[in-house]
Amino acid sequence: MTNRYIGREAVKLAVGIEGSDRNSVIDSHIEAASREIDGLVNRRFIPITATRPYPWPTKNGRVTWWIPLDEDLLSVSALTKEGDDVTAISSSNYFLEPQGIGPPYHRIEIDLSSAAFFSSKDTHQRQIRVTGSWGYGNATKAAGALDGALGDTTGTSLSVTNASLADVGDTLLVGSEQLFVSERSTKDTATNTNGALTKSKSETTVTVGDGTKVLAGEIILIESERMYVESVSGNDLTVERAYDASTLAAHNTAKDVYAFRTLTVTRGENGTTAATHSDAAAITKYAPPAEIVALCKALAIGNYEAEKGGWTGTVGSGEGTVRVTQSGLNKMRDKVQRRYLRHLIGAV
């Protein structure tokens, strides 16, 4: 399970890192920062689908009609109890609490006006099973659509309609399947340059045959030069040349224009089931709270800079040496912990 709370390009842009040489290092720092946040507040911010076992609630003298949960619960797809046989408890016979505040929910209570009850076999252990979606929240943002069907459940490459909306490290949702983006590569946009380009960074207008094939915010590739598309007006693209440490070059007319719309993904992430998906199926991506994203970025950048300084607390050398302090990060940690800390209750 790999859940990152910010994408690779967002961190690289903040630090001013160009090229791909440090991609794996950035990825590892984002992953470490995300797991640090999980541990800091005892919660996860991208949901998983799983079954959690709980003891029959008479253990340790607890009341028999409610179960405290040791993890945030978003929704329940099945609640079962042991006994003489395994029995499902209807959703109409229990409450997810606290109502009016959750999700996330912290306990499940039997509706005492119903005939439902919790029970167990000879042992109290793992007699109640809760299957559902677990996590602090499941907010998502639009991330375009599939550009081509996913016709099987094992393929790890997909094409999207808008490369600017999906970053490496994002967890996408297509239907009910989660997919983790581990890399991006190019796809032909089906339009070409309509005019030559000189080797000049000041020449920032690229005219193409069909401007509807390229979107603002995308990174395009013409021959070996990358360009960031700032805006699109008709068939004219306003771009930043030699983007991401690529080499500025002259280009003849009728050159293919590529965009980074091919995503390498892992399928069926976080307990979801890989499925087939039709062309143009909507894509969303999980969007953790803004404070979580900001802290993840700060931690990843802080650790990246600390590593560059040999973990000495300094960056640079000679007269350019700068001491890096942790006070700002600590304030961000404290703020996030005060707002999001989930107190463990030892339910299992």
Per-residue pLDDT of the chain (348 residues; tens, 9 = 90+): 579 999 999 999 999 999 999 999 999 999 999 999 999 999 999 999 999 999 877 755 566 889 999 999 999 999 998 765 678 999 999 999 998 888 999 999 999 999 988 877 667 777 899 999 999 999 999 999 999 999 999 999 999 999 999 999 999 999 999 999 999 999 999 999 999 999 999 999 999 999 999 999 999 999 999 999 999 999 999 999 999 999 999 999 999 999 999 999 999 999 999 999 999 999 999 999 999 999 999 999 999 988 887 766 655 555 555 555 677 889 999 999 999 999 876 544
Of 286, 301, 318, the one marking the end of a domain is 286
Of 79, 114, 134, the one marking the end of a domain is 134
pLDDT of residue 321: 52
Strand pairing partners for 11? none
User: How many whole angstroms separate alpha carbon 220 and alpha carbon 316?
Assistant: 33
Residues 57 and 7 both lie in one domain: no
Please report, as a single letter, which amino acid is at residue 25: V
Residues 190 and 55 both lie in one domain: no
The answer to whether the beta carbons of residues 257 and 214 sit under 8 Å apart is: yes
Residues 53 and 76 both lie in one domain: yes
Q: In the chain, where does DSSP find H-type helix?
A: 8-15, 23-41, 290-308, 327-340
pTM for this one?
A: 0.90
Residues 271 and 306 both lie in one domain: no
Residues 201 and 280 both lie in one domain: yes
Residues 147 and 272 both lie in one domain: yes
CB contact set of 20 (below 8 Å; sequence gap of 6+): none
Residues 97 and 201 both lie in one domain: no
The answer to whether the beta carbons of residues 70 and 345 sit under 8 Å apart is: yes
Tokens of 62: 């607890």
User: Residue 161 belongs to what domain range?
Assistant: 142-286
Classify the phi-psi angles of 343: left when phi > 0, otherwise alpha if psi is within -120 to 50, otherwise beta: beta
Greatest extent of the chain over all pairs of C-alpha atoms, in Å: 81
The answer to whether the beta carbons of residues 199 and 250 sit under 8 Å apart is: yes
Residues 190 and 281 both lie in one domain: yes
The answer to whether the beta carbons of residues 279 and 146 sit under 8 Å apart is: yes
Residue with tokens 């892992």: 266
The answer to whether the beta carbons of residues 298 and 11 sit under 8 Å apart is: no
pLDDT of residue 348: 40
Residues 344 and 311 both lie in one domain: yes
Residues 156 and 67 both lie in one domain: no
Q: Where are the beta strands (DSSP E) in the chain?
A: 48-54, 66-81, 87-88, 94-97, 105-110, 128-134, 140-145, 157-159, 171-174, 177-192, 205-207, 219-222, 225-233, 236-240, 256-266, 282-286, 314-315, 322-323
Residues 188 and 96 both lie in one domain: no
Of 267, 286, 305, the one marking the end of a domain is 286
User: How many whole angstroms separate alpha carbon 189 and alpha carbon 212?
Assistant: 10
Residues 148 and 262 both lie in one domain: yes
pLDDT of residue 158: 97
Structurally, how many domains does the chain consist of? 3
DSSP state of 247: P
pLDDT of residue 60: 56
